[in-house]
Amino acid sequence: MSDSSGWGPSGPSGPYWGAPGGWGWMPPPPPKPGVIPLAPLGADHILGGAFVTMRRYAKPLFGIAFAGIAALAALNLGLLYAAYLSTKTQLDRMTAAPRSIDWADLRTVLIVFGTVWIVGMLVSLVASSFVQASSAATLHDAVLGRRAPVGAVWRRAWSRTPSVLGVTLLMGLVVALPMVVLFVVFGMLLATVASRAPLVAFSLFPLVALLVIPLAVWLFVRFSFAPAAAVLEGASPVTAMRRSARLVRGAWWRTFGILLLGGLITLIVSIVVDLPLQMAVSAPRPYDLSSAQEPASVTQIYAQLLPAVGRSLVFSTIANVFVQLFALVFIPLVSSLLYIDQRIRREGLADVLLRASAAAETPGSVQ
């Protein structure tokens, strides 16, 4: 389907009278039951459609995203507090005698907080996958111009979260593999020539990075449609990755450019929100250990610093939550709209979407 054809053979047809600049025939505009016209999309339609979706469907999008962030933050704080309580004795001893830290105390602290960090990372991946799934599920109704009740979006997103999580893990593995190769190759080169020519060994690192980093970016863009395919097609992680690779083929640069624009918009929003708060809130003064007459415990240090950092922590937390909400919702919407655009261009999805928008009930998936 070409850009000039507008809607397609199965859509509404028939010219209308009154072309701009004089009398003449012009093709009718493509149907637009929801947030985007059912025709091949430009960058303005994709980015604009993401903003319109956030405005019209703020409740399911940001409500579910905020619930995920809040649950993740509460869990992380609970885990950190439990870790602190379980290692309070070791932390007090380490703070009282920082120059003679016992290895047993340090090992206990590292194990406990390392376990908390690993659990937090796993829960964060699940929460991020759930929010991505909810964004795609909301967009499913937004494109068709349907209501998106929070409960229905929640159930649909939760049912597809395992698949999106699998896609996230596979994408992380595929993208991280070139970086692992980089470090392995650099380590081998360093071990081989470092003793004879260390400057040559270190000069090889940028050359290897120039080969590996573009490969990682290429792989990320190639599989960027996989989360949308996992939700909107009900595909398994491997099938979603294959679908993304097929849809991106021949449109890599366009996909990369629009995703880059989405990332730049997210960065600008982050700066606009964070910079005024950084200028308005002064940095807390560091705690001076030398001023204490006797060794201070961790609890005493926290009690001393808490009044100074309280206001800064509140404002920075609000800013971080706002930026995270925007990024968690906006980027998946952009990639999902790109996915829909490629299916409209290559598979005639516009006809399916038009029939679905006119149906009495929303279908379970757009296939």
Identify whether 203 is part of a domain. no
Confidence of residue 86 (pLDDT cuts 50, 70, 90): confident
In eight-state DSSP terms, residue 40 is -
**From 8-22, 42-56, 191-205, the region with the lowest mean pLDDT:** 8-22
**From 37-41, 54-58, 88-92, 345-349, the region with the lowest mean pLDDT:** 88-92
Q: Please name which of 333, 350, 332 lies closest in space to residue 341, comparing C-alpha atoms.
A: 350
Q: Please name which of 203, 202, 209, 200 lies closest in space to residue 182, comparing C-alpha atoms.
A: 209
Identify whether 210 is part of a domain. no
Res 83: pLDDT: 86
Residue 71 burial (CB count, 10 A): 13
Identify whether 18 is part of a domain. no
Contacts of 179 (CB under 8 A, 6+ apart): 212, 213, 216
How far are the Cα atoms of 59, 110, 153 from residue 149, in angstroms, in the given order? 9, 44, 6
Select the more confidently predicted residue: 97 or 63. 63
Question: Where do runs of H (alpha helix) occur along 281-348?
Answer: 298-347
Any idea which residue has 């807390």 for tokens? Answer: 284
221: left (phi over 0), alpha (psi -120 to 50) or beta: alpha
pLDDT at 301 exceeding the cut of 80: no
Query: Domain range for residue 256?
Result: 35-160+225-240+248-284+293-358
pLDDT at 26 exceeding the cut of 50: yes
pLDDT digits (tens, 9 = 90+) for 4-24: 333 233 333 333 333 444 455
Q: What are the beta bridge partners of residue 17?
A: 25
Confidence of residue 307 (pLDDT cuts 50, 70, 90): low
Contacts of 337 (CB under 8 A, 6+ apart): 36, 41, 45, 46, 49, 50, 139
User: Two tokens at 54?
Assistant: 């956030």
Identify whether 348 is part of a domain. yes
In eight-state DSSP terms, residue 239 is H
Res 4: pLDDT: 32
The mean pLDDT value of the chain amounts to 79
User: Two tokens at 242?
Assistant: 């294959």
DSSP string, 169-211: HHHHHHHHHHHHHHHHHHHHHHHHHTTT-HHHHHHHHHHHHHH
**From 33-42, 71-80, 256-265, 301-310, the region with the lowest mean pLDDT:** 301-310
- Do residues 28 and 11 make contact, with C-beta atoms less than 8 angstroms apart? no
pLDDT at 238 exceeding the cut of 50: yes
Identify whether 177 is part of a domain. no
pLDDT, average across residues 91-117: 80
Identify whether 178 is part of a domain. no
**From 210-214, 303-307, 343-347, the region with the lowest mean pLDDT:** 303-307
| pTM reported for the whole predicted model | 0.78
Question: Where do runs of H (alpha helix) occur along 25-149?
Answer: 43-56, 58-86, 88-96, 103-144
* Separation of alpha carbons 342 and 31, rounded Å: 17
Tally of structural domains, the chain: 1
Identify whether 25 is part of a domain. no
Identify whether 342 is part of a domain. yes
pLDDT over 70 percentage in the chain? 74
Contacts of 190 (CB under 8 A, 6+ apart): 201, 202
pLDDT, average across residues 120-140: 92
- Do residues 108 and 87 make contact, with C-beta atoms less than 8 angstroms apart? yes
